[in-house]
Structures are given as C-alpha cells and as structure tokens.
C-alpha cells in the first residue's frame, strides 16, 4: 500500500482554514471584504459570543446569481480574476476564492443572495464543506452570510480560542480597519443583540474621528503628498498623542490594510526627532499607487505585501510625513477661523478631555484695529544682546510684524502673540488674538537649539567660540584617550580640548550656540557619548541623540528670570523653527487657552 495518498477535499479545506481562518475575526475579515467587493453601500454585522457562536453579515451589494451559489462555496472559485495579468493588477480585496470554502469547512454556513434583476433570493447551505442544492429564500436585496458554531468539527482549533471579550475585541478591530478603508460605505456592528457601532457614509475625516475619537482628530495633522504615481494622504497624530502600544496605527495600500516593516520603519524614522523611543505614533494613512507596483499575494491573510521599488517608497513615505511634522502649524488659510469657530487645533493627550487647554494651529491674524490693545507692543528696533544670549552670537531676531508706513494701525499680532509675564520661572504667559498661551521655556528653547545645531552641522562644522580663559576639569585615562583619538570629530562638533595631565583636560572652545551652557557638563556628556558608542555611531545613528543632549545643556534653565524682550525673542524663534510645537522628547512646548474657553470656565456670557 502506498504511503503517499491524496487528502480528501474536506481535510484540505480544514487545513486551509487553519491558515486563513485563525479565529472569528479572520472569518469576519473575509466576509466583509466580499461585501465591499460586491459594491455594497450598507453593511451590517451581527455577532454572538464574540463571533464563535454566530457571525451574520448582510449587505446591499450586487448579489450572486442562483447558479453561482454552489460554486461560491467551492475552493479556488472566484469572479475577480481569471489570468496572471489580472492578479498582478488586482484592485479587489479578495481574489483567491478560498475564504467561503475554508469557512464552510469548519462551521455551519448559510449563503443567501438576491441578485439584482432576479425575482427573488436563493439560499444554499454547506454540509461537511459541500454545498447543498439552492432553495428559494426571503431577502430583499444583496447578500447575507451566516456562520454558526465556528470550529464545531475541529476541537483542537476551538480550544485555542480566547474569552468572548477577547474574540469580540479582535472582531471589532477588523471592523474598524474595513470601515476606515471605506468611509463611503455605511456600517453597523451588533454584539449579542446590542448595538456597538453605527457609522453612516461620510468623508474620510469624519470617519476617522468617528472610529478613533475626537481626541485623535484634534491631535492629528492632515497629510496629502504626491510624487510620480504615489500619493500619501490621511491623518497622523502629533507626538504628544503618542501611545504606549501600537494600537491606532492604520496603513492602507490601495484601500487594503497592511502591516509592512518597510512602511513602519519609514514612519518611525519620520517621528524619531520628536518622539521618545518607547512611545509609538498614531496614524491613519492611505497610500495610493499603481497596483502593478505591489504584490498582495504573499501571505494567506493578505496583510503583508511586497513592493517593486521599496527604497523609493520608503523615501517617499518618510519625506511626506517628515515634512508634515516639521511644518509650522501657522497657516494663513486658517485666519478665517475665529475663537468661537470650530476647533481646528491639536489637543494634547492629557488635555483633550478638557477644552480649556489645547495646542492649536494658530493662524496669522489680521492687523489689530485701533480699538485693540497689545500687552507688549514691539519696539521699532529691538536690542540684540538677548538674542546673542539665547541663540548665540551669530543669531538674528526673527522678523516681527510691521505696520504699513503712514498708518496708525497697531502691528499685526504674531501667531504666538506677545509675552505678558513669567510664571514661577518655568512658563511664559503670552497673549495672542485667540487667548492665553502657556510656553514651557526650557523645552521650547531646547527644540530651537537642537534644530539650529542640526542645520549647522549639515552644512559645515559647528562654529566655535574660544574661551578667554580655558576651563579645566578632572578626567580619567579613558576620557583623555577619547579626546586625543577623536580630535577632528570634537572639532566638527565645535569643541577644542586638550590633555593637560594624565588626570586633567582643558576646554578651550565650545559651540557658539552653546557658549552660555554649563560647558564642563556639556563637554563631559559629549565625551561620554563618543566613549560609549564610538565616533562612527555618534556621527550617524547617534548623531541626533548627541545634538539633543547638547541642546539640553544649552537651553535656558528653569527658574531663570527672563525679561519681556527675551521672552518675545523666544516666541519669535519658535515661530521660525521647525517642529517647535514639541520638545526633543515629544512633549508639547506650548498650550493655548482660548478666550471662549476662559469665558466658559468663569461661566461668563458674551
């Protein structure tokens, strides 16, 4: 007797189901994708016991002809492709013809459909994976699929299922992915008879807010970039909305949800400068590209893909998101918004529930009329000394709003307004057209210095400021060896050091931008970075971390008293600096309390 034999069809389907239908959520995904491919405009999902007892999906799509119903339950039967060329340019979500057959092999499945143009509906049931003859049924339009007692005949698979709550959570996640990818379709989700989600057809922005919540919507920025045949659009959250896990990360390629290491790496690289390494960004992004440039037939669940030109795609995604995160959110187009209008800003994670503290996309305001008042009107010629103190001897003040010659109108209010006072030596209180701003002066100054250091090092070695009297400090033999071996690197970073003795180093020059820092601690930290990671790592993978450390040393410290001109200088530099809304660790550098919110807090009618 031959040791090799053909497996029966039912066993083949059950094995296939183990790959494709790993849990109720997997079955739900396949059924939802079929409804989307059928052109449905409304899809309803009913679950019992987390989908283990029952999954029922109804849609108003085109339907299935009576003669095709048994074939729909057969393995490798599909209406979506017929040739390899069609597979290479596939645009539908499904294409293998395995899903219904695999589900039918491990459940009691009933498929009912009313094909458009037919007088009534027909229904077919599956028994032991085989379709019974179709029978007339009652269904107004579209298709209904009911899956009962999932894994009833594969107890080994059933025992690996989790609790009802866990299985429902996985089903809900699949539901959210499909609903995000198709905002033009209405969706309803019920569990154990209770309505859990009801989503009307909407634009992408409203659908994202409906699923991820207002907190995400307020803390996100819009993205829409194109290059060649690529387009990336959607919403990505500001760093202060970061998460402790990778939830709220949704990336779609031509409408298909994917988890791709290349894409995730590009996104994390874009956030690297503004997000702590242990935090995760949140985003809902859609990549549109030529279907021929991506292979979706590489994984049973179709959530992993391969790109024809991964390097170009990585660069495109990285630069699109990096550009959006770096852009100052002071849009002139937003000037039409008033304090009482819709909140177009970005709420911090801890502040979203409280409308009184938000970080907004501040518009450039129109000039304040003669009846307005400014807490700190700018002078015609600003002193330069505090710019040199805060930003180095080569710094120049950012331009302040100016009035037209011959007019009596007050100067236009800058986006971050003008300083009023300093609070406890930590925060700057400022006023703009919308209300009150609170600025973390150390975090803001740290970001400004960091961006200046990056820009300077990109173009040339950092400018050095020689010290009139060299500063000496104790060092061990490894520190001294590090200085002697890395003289050119230290010079590139703006330092000049030399060994005076086996236990003493002399610091003769420091970066101009950081000349007012604690130069000994600054030098010690730079030596420590080079000593721990090596010169090559410091100037490549660790370059930005080193510059961030240097910026932290140079930033104005808490409890240092600033004058009003110094505070205003800091505000103007923030307006001119990329990513100034977040510190180097992703925390917000400023928040705003609008006048409307202040009135609400004091229950004052206007």
Segment 538-588, tens digit of pLDDT: 666 667 777 888 888 778 777 788 899 999 999 999 988 888 888 877 788
Question: Can you tell me the distance from the alpha carbon of 590 to that of 357, in angstroms, rounded to the nearest whole number?
Answer: 10
Would you say residue 403 lies in a domain? no
Label residue 1 by pLDDT band (50, 70, 90): low
Question: Can you tell me the distance from the alpha carbon of 26 to that of 43, in angstroms, rounded to the nearest whole number?
Answer: 17
Out of 140, 175, 197, pick the residue that ends a domain. Answer: 197
Question: What φ, ψ does residue 560 adopt, rounded to 5°?
Answer: -90, 130
- Residues 185 and 211 both lie in one domain: no
pLDDT digits (tens, 9 = 90+) for 480-489: 989 998 888 8
Lowest mean pLDDT among 169-183, 191-205, 396-410, 463-477: 396-410
Would you say residue 410 lies in a domain? no
Q: How far is CA 177 from the centre of its chain?
A: 15
Out of 197, 221, 254, pick the residue that ends a domain. Answer: 197
Is the pLDDT score of 343 beyond 50?
Answer: no
Identify the burial level of 133 via C-beta atoms within 10 angstroms of its C-beta, where 0-12 means exposed, 13-18 middle and 19 or more buried: exposed
Of residues 325 and 383, more confidence is placed in: 325
User: Of 214, 223, 283, which Cα lies nearest the Cα of 251?
Assistant: 283
Q: What 3-state DSSP class applies to 557?
A: coil
- Residue 497 has a pLDDT of 92
- Residue 94 has a pLDDT of 62
% of the chain surpassing 70 pLDDT: 78
- Residues 173 and 255 both lie in one domain: no
Lowest mean pLDDT among 83-87, 297-301, 345-349, 469-473: 345-349
Cβ within 8 Å of residue 154, ≥6 positions away: 14, 17, 18, 106
Question: Can you tell me the distance from the alpha carbon of 369 to that of 414, in angstroms, rounded to the nearest whole number?
Answer: 14
- Residues 247 and 278 both lie in one domain: yes
- Residue 371 has a pLDDT of 34
- Residues 174 and 271 both lie in one domain: no
- Residue 406 has a pLDDT of 44
Contact 59, 35 (CB under 8 A): yes
Question: Can you tell me the distance from the alpha carbon of 368 to that of 378, in angstroms, rounded to the nearest whole number?
Answer: 13
Is the pLDDT score of 128 beyond 80?
Answer: no
Angle at 419 between CA 418 and CA 420, to 5 degrees: 120
What is the C-alpha end-to-end distance of the chain, expressed in Å?
93
Is the pLDDT score of 99 beyond 90?
Answer: no
- Residues 161 and 34 both lie in one domain: yes
Question: Considering the entire predicted model, what is its pTM?
Answer: 0.70
Question: Can you tell me the distance from the alpha carbon of 546 to that of 526, in angstroms, rounded to the nearest whole number?
Answer: 7
Lowest mean pLDDT among 111-120, 398-407, 435-444: 398-407
Is the pLDDT score of 269 beyond 60?
Answer: yes
Of residues 396 and 213, more confidence is placed in: 213
Question: Can you tell me the distance from the alpha carbon of 447 to that of 429, in angstroms, rounded to the nearest whole number?
Answer: 18
Question: Can you tell me the distance from the alpha carbon of 563 to that of 422, in angstroms, rounded to the nearest whole number?
Answer: 9
- Residues 31 and 160 both lie in one domain: yes
Would you say residue 343 lies in a domain? no
Would you say residue 357 lies in a domain? no
- Residue 464 has a pLDDT of 84
Identify the burial level of 262 via C-beta atoms within 10 angstroms of its C-beta, where 0-12 means exposed, 13-18 middle and 19 or more buried: middle
- Residues 308 and 429 both lie in one domain: no
Of residues 80 and 275, more confidence is placed in: 275
Q: What 3-state DSSP class applies to 447?
A: helix
- Residue 438 has a pLDDT of 94
CATH number of the domain residue 43 falls in: 3.30.565.10
Q: DSSP for 46-103, please give it.
A: EEEGGGTSEEEEEE-S----GGGHHHHTSTT--SS-SSHHHHHT--SS--SS-HHHHH
CATH number of the domain residue 222 falls in: 3.30.230.10
pLDDT digits (tens, 9 = 90+) for 346-394: 333 333 334 334 444 333 233 333 333 333 334 334 444 444 555 554 5
Label residue 289 by pLDDT band (50, 70, 90): very high
The boundaries of the domain holding residue 475 are 418-590
Question: What φ, ψ does residue 387 adopt, rounded to 5°?
Answer: -65, -40
- Residues 222 and 107 both lie in one domain: no
Question: Can you tell me the distance from the alpha carbon of 514 to that of 526, in angstroms, rounded to the nearest whole number?
Answer: 13
Orientation angle between helical segments 261-271 and 310-326, nearest 10 degrees: 30
Average pLDDT over residues 7-18: 67
Would you say residue 116 lies in a domain? yes
Is the pLDDT score of 404 beyond 50?
Answer: no
- Residue 145 has a pLDDT of 95
Q: How far is CA 306 from the centre of its chain?
A: 22
- Residues 57 and 152 both lie in one domain: yes
Label residue 505 by pLDDT band (50, 70, 90): very high
Out of 138, 173, 197, pick the residue that ends a domain. Answer: 197
Q: Please tell me the total count of domains within the chain.
A: 3
- Residue 354 has a pLDDT of 42
Question: Can you tell me the distance from the alpha carbon of 560 to that of 375, in angstroms, rounded to the nearest whole number?
Answer: 22
- Residues 163 and 222 both lie in one domain: no
- Residues 44 and 131 both lie in one domain: yes
User: Of 175, 166, 255, which Cα lies nearest the Cα of 211?
Assistant: 175
- Residues 144 and 236 both lie in one domain: no
pLDDT digits (tens, 9 = 90+) for 130-185: 788 889 999 989 999 999 999 888 887 888 899 999 999 999 999 999 999 999 99
Question: Can you tell me the distance from the alpha carbon of 183 to that of 570, in angstroms, rounded to the nearest whole number?
Answer: 43
- Residue 84 has a pLDDT of 62
Contact 14, 152 (CB under 8 A): no
Would you say residue 534 lies in a domain? yes
Is the pLDDT score of 504 beyond 50?
Answer: yes
- Residue 21 has a pLDDT of 82
Identify the residue whose tokens are 């490549």. Answer: 540
- Residue 342 has a pLDDT of 33
Label residue 411 by pLDDT band (50, 70, 90): low
Give the containing element (helix H, strand E) for 135.
Answer: strand 135-137
Question: Can you tell me the distance from the alpha carbon of 517 to that of 550, in angstroms, rounded to the nearest whole number?
Answer: 9
Would you say residue 553 lies in a domain? yes
Cβ within 8 Å of residue 578, ≥6 positions away: 326, 327, 328, 451
Of residues 223 and 578, more confidence is placed in: 223
Encoded tokens for 57? 């999906």
Of residues 333 and 133, more confidence is placed in: 133
Label residue 241 by pLDDT band (50, 70, 90): confident
- Residue 360 has a pLDDT of 41
CATH number of the domain residue 571 falls in: 3.30.1370.100
């Amino acid at each position: 007797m031959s040791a090799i034999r053909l497996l029966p069809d039912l066993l083949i389907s059950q094995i296939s189901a183990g790959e494709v239908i790993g849990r109720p959520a997997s079955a739900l995904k396949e059924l939802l994708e079929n409804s989307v491919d059928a052109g449905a405009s409304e899809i309803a999902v009913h679950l019992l016991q987390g989908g283990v007892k029952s999954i029922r999906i109804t849609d108003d799509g085109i339907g299935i002809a009576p003669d095709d119903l048994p074939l729909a339950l057969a393995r490798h039967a599909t209406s979506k492709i017929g040739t390899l060329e069609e597979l290479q340019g596939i645009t539908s979500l499904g294409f293998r013809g395995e899903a219904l057959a695999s589900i039918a092999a491990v459940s009691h499945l009933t498929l009912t459909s009313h094909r458009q143009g037919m007088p009534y509906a027909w229904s077919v049931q599956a028994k032991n994976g085989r379709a019974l003859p179709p029978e007339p049924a009652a269904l107004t339009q579209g298709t209904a699929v009911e899956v009962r007692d999932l894994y009833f005949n594969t107890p080994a698979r059933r025992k690996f299922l989790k609790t009802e709550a866990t299985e429902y959570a996985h089903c809900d996640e699949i539901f959210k992915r499909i609903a995000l990818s198709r905002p033009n379709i209405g969706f309803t989700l019920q569990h154990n008879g209770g309505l859990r989600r009801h989503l009307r057809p909407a634009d992408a922005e409203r659908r994202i807010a409906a699923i991820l919540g207002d907190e995400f919507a307020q803390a996100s920025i819009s993205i829409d970039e194109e290059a060649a045949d690529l387009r990336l659009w959607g919403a990505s959250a500001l760093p202060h909305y970061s998460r402790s896990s990778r939830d709220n990360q949704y990336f779609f390629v031509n409408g298909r949800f994917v988890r791709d290491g290349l894409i995730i790496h590009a996104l994390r690289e874009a956030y690297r400068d503004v997000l702590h390494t242990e935090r995760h960004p949140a985003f809902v992004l859609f990549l549109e590209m030529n279907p021929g440039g991506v292979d979706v037939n590489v994984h049973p669940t179709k959530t992993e893909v391969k790109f024809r030109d991964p390097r170009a795609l990585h660069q495109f995604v990285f630069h699109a998101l990096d550009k959006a995160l770096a852009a100052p959110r002071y849009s002139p187009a937003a000037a039409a918004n008033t304090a009482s209008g819709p909140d177009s800003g970005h709420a911090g994670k801890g502040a979203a529930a409280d409308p009184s503290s938000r970080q907004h996309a501040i518009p450039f305001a129109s000039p304040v009329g003669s009846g307005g008042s400014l807490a700190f009107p700018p002078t015609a010629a600003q002193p330069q000394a505090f710019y040199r103190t805060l930003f180095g001897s080569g710094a120049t003040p950012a331009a302040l709003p100016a009035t037209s010659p011959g007019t009596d109108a007050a100067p236009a209010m800058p986006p971050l307004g003008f300083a009023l006072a300093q609070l406890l030596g930590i925060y700057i209180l400022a006023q703009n057209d919308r209300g009150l701003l609170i600025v973390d002066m150390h975090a803001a100054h740290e970001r400004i210095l960091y961006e200046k250091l990056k820009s300077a090092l990109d173009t040339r070695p950092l400018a050095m400021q020689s010290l009139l009297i060299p500063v000496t400090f104790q060092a061990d033999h490894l520190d001294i060896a590090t200085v002697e071996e890395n003289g050119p690197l230290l010079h590139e970073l703006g330092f000049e050091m030399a060994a005076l003795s086996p236990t003493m180093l002399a610091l003769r020059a420091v970066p101009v931008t950081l000349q007012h820092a604690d130069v000994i601690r600054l030098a010690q930290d730079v030596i420590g970075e080079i000593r721990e990671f090596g010169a090559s790592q410091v100037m490549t993978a660790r370059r930005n971390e080193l510059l961030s450390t240097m910026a932290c040393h140079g930033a104005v410290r808490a409890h240092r008293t600033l004058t009003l001109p110094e505070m205003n200088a800091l505000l103007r530099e923030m307006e001119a600096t990329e990513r100034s809304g977040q510190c180097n660790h992703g925390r917000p550098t400023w928040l705003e309390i609008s006048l409307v919110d202040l009135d609400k807090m004091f229950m004052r009618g206007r």
